Amino acid sequence: MRALFLSLVLLSPGLFAQDAVSPDGGRYYGQLRSGIPHGKGRYEARGGEVYEGEFRNGEMVGQGSFSRPDGTRYSGEFAKWKPHGKGRLVEAGGAVYEGEFKDGLYDGEGTLRTPKGEVFAGRWNKGLYFDAAEAQRTALAVEAALYSQRALLDKALAALAPSQAGRINLYLLAVAGDGSLEVFRREVEFVREQFDRDFGTRGRSVALINSRNTLASAPMATHTSLREALRAIAAKMNRERDILFVFLTSHGSKEHELRLHQNHILLRGLRPADLAALLKESGARWKVVVVSACYAGGFIEPLKDERTLVIAAARHDRQSFGCADSADLTLFGRAFFKEALASARSFDEAFGKAATLVGEWEKRDKIEEASLPQITSGREIGEHLRRWWAQKP
């Protein structure tokens, strides 16, 4: 779980008078020294953020509070405009964290309570939750789960329904790659439920999940399980007519490697060339691939062709956002699947709406480098998707 980075507000010496407007459009009320905020004061940023408390040489330092128009509220200790020390943060989505912070991240002893009633109490390190007792239990559970993985994967693949004759069928493979954060599991579960309900994939969907909560109940996401799942789906589908929809959500690296990680198990990451080879091996003719991760745009070039639609949550050199342990969906996942797809008439239209939403949300949150979601679509897959969409219930 990564705590929210509070936006930095730079106050320039010599440009302030008490109760005056700052160069960036914000307004400060309070004590000054040598023309800059120093002592007790209140700073109202142009975007609606409010900082109130102790200032030192133009920075928010010591005890104070912060609020945003989206409902985010923090009270506690600050250093260089970020939570640092002890404090309480209420996130826009309703999650509440009380405990220690360092450089704007949960770090030290603390308790996170999510809107779903989940409680994570214990030790945090650079925004990630760690509890010694839980780690011990998880290690034992992992060992037991490894013995059950074969049966779990076999059961999931055996449940796949064959292609329905006389129509274009959609098959879904959804992959939650990084088990250290629960947002990826929740996102895959949301997408699978949505597609089974709205896009006819019930009986034709498979979820591969790395999570601390599904070790004994769901097949893990590994190179081997990906290969076997794609082979099994291809064996059931009509490869010349049906469409394979692959959704992957995880952390991504600058080297364009999608993280496959299960707690206490070392797994090899998935690179674009790996996924391209697995898809080619499957023999599926028509494909839609959505990658929700930082630097996901690195997957576009190796995957694109006339029969494949590829969507990436971020450009090849940009990060994506929203991968908090308490979140239900990532920023792009929420924009594309939850907000845009429900009312869209095509995946392309949903992408356009989602990209606009992501841009607006990132601007609201004062993210300096926008993620810039990407899409590429061949002419043939576009026509085939229109045929499928026309006969969709």
Least confident of 20-34, 95-109, 218-232, 321-335: 20-34
Structure token digits, residue 299? 């997957």
Mean pLDDT of the chain: 88
When pLDDT is averaged across residues 144-149 and rounded to a whole number, the result is 75
Other Cβ atoms closer than 10 A to 302: 16
pLDDT 10s digits, 293-320: 999 999 999 999 999 999 999 999 999 9
What CA–CA distance (Å, rounded) separates 225 from 209? 10
**What element of type H or E holds 70?**
none
Examine the pLDDT at 102 and tell me if it is beyond 50: yes
* 236 against 124, higher pLDDT: 236
The reported pTM is 0.68
Please, are residues 127 and 1 in contact by the beta-carbon 8 Å criterion? yes
Least confident of 11-15, 166-170, 199-203: 11-15
- How high is the pLDDT of residue 81? 84
Examine the pLDDT at 179 and tell me if it is beyond 50: yes
Domain 20-131 fold: 2.20.110
When pLDDT is averaged across residues 243-268 and rounded to a whole number, the result is 92
The domain limits of the chain are 20-131, 142-160+167-390
Binned at pLDDT 50, 70 and 90, residue 9 comes out as very low
What CA–CA distance (Å, rounded) separates 337 from 23? 39
**Distance, CA of 321 to chain centre:** 6
Examine the pLDDT at 12 and tell me if it is beyond 60: no
Span 142-160+167-390 CATH architecture: 3-Layer(aba) Sandwich (3.40)
pLDDT 10s digits, 43-84: 888 888 899 999 988 888 999 999 989 889 999 999 988 899
- How high is the pLDDT of residue 96? 94
